[in-house]
A and B are shown apart, each in its own frame.
Chain A
């Protein structure tokens, strides 16, 4: 039984943790949120210089050629810091979509730039306040041009590249393709979108005859490609959620030790102790599920979808719960603008919605379990 990360992977995690503790304290997240900066440029630069953006990109395309496990340990630390950087958009989503499904030429064009941090990429799927489905993808591609509106698109303002879910005609899942769009090539306008978590910038992307090229060599495979990209991202986001849960729990614990009410530490009341114990329980369930997700992702295992769904469900549950109850533990002070509690509260829900809400993943999971049970 070797259900753990290697010493090298743990060392990498420690390095990222130290860097972020030093360069990306909560004051940086606050600054990005308050000043509406697109992202913390100096933190992003540091992550790029450490080579982290190239972690899972093959060497022939300018990366380090490491695997998913390395990305997972990085993700956990980014989550712990609630880091205001476009790492997930550029790497878990855009780079992974290209690595998995791009043609050699597409990879050669884009992956080295994503690996080196020369450009930022993102994935544009959502078209408003409803879940994406093959039936409702309205952005259309025809004749090498796309038209329509995607919103919200995280990091869409800073990105030079977007992988865009588009309708290429036909029926059912076969109507969907993923398109590579150079956001600097014209036909694209961006408009900021006000969201729950301004420490991560979101925009509306409007395409008017924007030049686009199908990801891979044929159209109609976008829905299954997207599903696989989301499976991987669900695992990586789950590690961010585990890191965030741990940070929120530590905040709540520290405050429960420091704050006195009715002549004693509030952490000595069972109402608080049991709340924090429940955070810990959810965190460990999330972590254990995420570990299996990591293993399936790294091995491209047969149970990747189930493991990704379980990682996402447990991770979302743990982080949202911990972020909510962290504020509750702090009482009134936790609800102020001055308090750092808000950053986990915002980020927890953002991450829980990022690649589809938990209820969508529960459906995806049970559909698989049901099919297995019937077989």
Chain B
């Protein structure tokens, strides 16, 4: 047992490091470089960086070179991500497009669509979003109501999507709609790609509880799309969507940048309970131990998965526990960090709070993280059904035509 790279992995890592050293700034040397506040500037920087990566074979590392990828292995991709995370580089506005949308286009799109879209997306020239969730279909995505009706060679789309990350700056999207309400819900869906700049598409930001606005509502009013924009057969939309969703939990990823036990120990050494340092308090010590053990458990679960990848094996289902544990831990640890600051724990003002309000921000953000990309409850269902082989829930709408199934408002 060891954490070492194989000879090939070490060579690849060295190559990656040399390239990053030449083309980017390490985080510790980038403290004075503020990320751009302006959205356009942020997008321009991201696009420039993505193009640079594509030229060097570091964009879509596992994809074939003929599609603009790097022709590498999954472990190459992991190594690149590990190394890139040490550098101050623009963030992941392409993650959803390249992680979910373009793979769907590659699996189900026409040759023409693939030729047209894959390479520009890899280079970051065009950005994609995923339009699945709706006000009436969150965890139960297949309950969506946005409808597409055939009109000659076109389809006319009306309805609303929600929680669409990045819709306000995306060029294209993949859209799941209902094409037949007279059959059970999973059977009446169809997938299309759409042009997000079409005037029939209206994007409105959603202001989150945190005050930020990373997601949008997207409205369609008589949006016309060509039948050639269809991905997969009419009525096969659910099957197509599964291709996309399989990649989602990978794309949503971890919870980097949050306070963990080391920060909490520092905080507990500098705060008091009944006039004694909080770190001396048994309740504090026990919580630190529990969260440390969870954090280590997650880290070494990731290492087990990486080991399987490194050996060219398919990883086991163990990585399915990651977000279930990480999201709740993020919330509980944030909450406890606020408790240690006592009445001052409410402060979010970064100028006043020695912790820069980090625990408060973390606690607020965690409420969203426990829901995004699969709620705690849906993820437990997935573990129960796919890993442990337990039966699916009884679904009362499963065999009913969608338009006769019970619905809320």
- Distance between A314 CB and nearest chain B CB, rounded to angstroms: 5
Q: Does A374 make an interface contact (CB < 8 A)?
A: yes
Residues of A within 8 A of B391 (CB): 257, 264-265, 267-268
Contacts of B266 in A (CB 8 A): 373
Known: A1-B5, A2-B2, A5-B1. A289 touches B293 (CB 8 A): yes
Kindly identify which residue among B1, B286, B379 contacts A291, using a CB–CB cutoff of 8 Å.
B1
Q: A268-B393, A268-B394, A370-B279 are in contact. Are A362 and B381 (CB under 8 A)?
A: no
Spot the interface stretch: B47-55, B198-206, B239-247, B297-305. Answer: B297-305
Flag if A2 contacts B394 (CB, 8 Å).
no
**Is A27 among interface residues, defined by CB-CB distance under 8 A?**
no
CA distance A363 to B284 in the complex (A): 11
Contact A310 B385 (CB under 8 A): no
Instruction: Tell whether, in the assembled complex, residue A294 and residue B296 are in contact, meaning their CB atoms are under 8 Å apart.
Output: no
B292: chain A residues at CB < 8 Å are 310, 365-366, 369
**Contact status B325-A285, CB under 8 Å:** yes
Contact B297 A284 (CB under 8 A): yes
Contacts of B318 in A (CB 8 A): 284, 287-288
Name the distance in Å between B272's Cβ and chain A's nearest Cβ.
16
Interface members, chain A 311-354 (any B CB < 8 Å): 313-314, 317
Interface residue stretch chosen among A38-46, A87-95, A223-231, A271-279: A271-279
Does the CB pair A1–B388 fall under 8 Å?
no
Q: How far, in Å, is B52 (CB) from chain A's closest CB?
A: 28
A317: B residues at CB distance < 8 A: 293
Is there an interface contact between A276 and B388, defined as CB atoms closer than 8 Å?
A: yes
Least Cβ–Cβ distance between A237 and chain B, in angstroms: 15
A286 in the interface (beta carbon within 8 A): yes
Contacts of B269 in A (CB 8 A): 370, 373-374
Whether A310 contacts B296 by the Cβ 8 Å rule is yes
Residues of A contacting B286 in the complex (Cβ-Cβ under 8 angstroms): 359, 362
Prevailing SS type, chain B contact patch:
helix
Q: Assess whether B1 is in contact with A4, with CB atoms less than 8 Å apart.
A: yes
In the complex, are the beta carbons of A313 and B289 less than 8 A apart? yes
Q: Are A369 and B261 in contact (CB under 8 A)?
A: yes
| CB-CB nearest in chain A for B289 | A362
Check B290–A362 contact: CB distance below 8 A.
yes
* B266, B289, B293, B300, most chain A CB atoms within 10 A: B293
Q: Name the one of A253, A295, A314 contacting B293, with C-beta atoms under 8 angstroms.
A: A314
Q: Report if A298 contacts B (CB, 8 A).
A: yes
Contact with A along B356-396 (1 / 0, CB 8 A): 00000000000000000000010111011101111111100
- Docked CA distance A200–B60 (Å): 56
Given A257-B390, A284-B321, do A270 and B377 touch, yes or no (CB 8 Å)? yes
Q: How far is the CB of A372 from the nearest CB of chain B, in Å?
A: 8
Is the Cβ of A273 less than 8 Å from the Cβ of B380?
A: yes
Separation in Å of the A244 CB from the closest CB of chain B? Answer: 17
Any chain A CB within 8 A of the CB of B330?
A: no
Report Cα–Cα, A248/B366, bound state, in Å: 32
Interface residues of B in 172-222 (CB under 8 A from A): none
* Residues of chain B lying within 8 A (CB to CB) of residue A277: 324, 379-381, 383-384, 387-388
Please determine whether B303 and A3 come into contact, CB atoms closer than 8 angstroms. Answer: yes
Residue B262 CB within 8 A of the other chain = yes
Contact indicator per residue, chain A 1-27, by CB within 8 Å of chain B (1) or not (0):
111110000000000000000000000
* Complex CA–CA separation, A188 to B3 (angstroms): 49
Residue with the greatest number of chain A CB neighbours at <10 A, chosen from B269, B303, B394: B303
Q: How far is the CA of A2 from the CA of B2 in the complex (A)?
A: 5
**Min C-beta distance of B76 to chain A, whole Å:** 13
Given contacts A288-B318, A313-B290, A369-B265, contact A273 B307 (CB under 8 A): no
Chain A residues whose C-beta falls within 8 Å of the C-beta of B261 in the assembled complex: 369
State whether the Cβ of B294 lies closer than 8 Å to any Cβ in chain A. Answer: yes
Q: Please indicate which of the listed interface residues B1, B5, B387, B388 has the most CB atoms of chain A within 10 Å of its own CB.
A: B1
- Whether B306 is near chain A, meaning CB under 8 Å from some CB there, is yes
Query: Contact between A268 and B390 (Cβ–Cβ < 8 Å)?
Result: yes
Tell me the complex Cα distance, A287–B289, Å: 17
Q: Which residues on A sit within 8 Å (CB–CB) of B1?
A: 2-5, 69, 291, 294-295, 298-299
A273 touches B310 (CB 8 A): no
The distance in angstroms between the C-alpha atoms of A361 and B325, with both chains bound, is 22
- Measured in the bound complex, the distance between the Cα atoms of B4 and A2 in whole Å is 7
CB distance from B35 to the nearest CB of A (A): 29
Contact status B388-A369, CB under 8 Å: no
CA distance A286 to B296 in the complex (A): 10
Q: How far is the CA of A237 from the CA of B288 in the complex (A)?
A: 23
Q: Which of B300, B324, B377, B394 contacts A292 (CB 8 A)?
A: B300
What B residues does A370 contact at CB under 8 A?
Answer: 265, 269, 279
B233 CB–A CB distance under 8 Å: no
Residues of A within 8 A of B288 (CB): 366, 369
Give every chain A residue within 8 A of B307 (Cβ-Cβ).
1-4
Residues of chain B contacted by A365 (CB below 8 angstroms): 289, 292-293
- Let me know if B86 is at the binding interface, CB within 8 A: no
Instruction: Give the CA-CA distance A165 to B377 in the complex, in Å.
Output: 49
* Docked-complex contact A253 and B297, CB < 8 angstroms: no
Kindly state the separation between the CA atoms of A374 and B4 in the bound complex, as whole angstroms.
29
Does A281 reach chain B (CB closer than 8 Å)? yes
- A310 to nearest B CB, angstroms? 5
Contacts A268-B394, A284-B318, A365-B292 given: A1-B262 contact, CB under 8 Å? no
A257 to B384 CA separation, bound complex (whole angstroms): 12
Nearest Cβ distance between residue B386 and chain A, in whole angstroms? 10
Contact of B321 among A69, A265, A273, A281 (CB under 8 A): A281
A278 partner residues in chain B, CB cutoff 8 A: 380
Given A277-B381, A313-B290, A359-B286, 13 extra CB contacts under 8 A = A3-B1, A4-B308, A5-B1, A69-B1, A253-B389, A253-B390, A270-B377, A274-B384, A276-B390, A277-B388, A280-B387, A288-B301, A317-B293
Can you list 8 A-B contacts (CB < 8 A)?
A2-B310, A270-B380, A280-B387, A288-B301, A291-B304, A309-B289, A314-B293, A370-B269
Closest 8 CB pairs of A and B: A285-B297, A273-B384, A362-B289, A288-B300, A277-B380, A277-B383, A268-B391, A267-B390
> Residues of A at under 8 Å CB distance from B?
1-5, 69, 249, 253, 256-257, 264-265, 267-268, 270, 272-274, 276-278, 280-281, 284-289, 291-292, 294-295, 298-299, 307, 309-310, 313-314, 317, 359, 361-363, 365-366, 369-370, 373-374
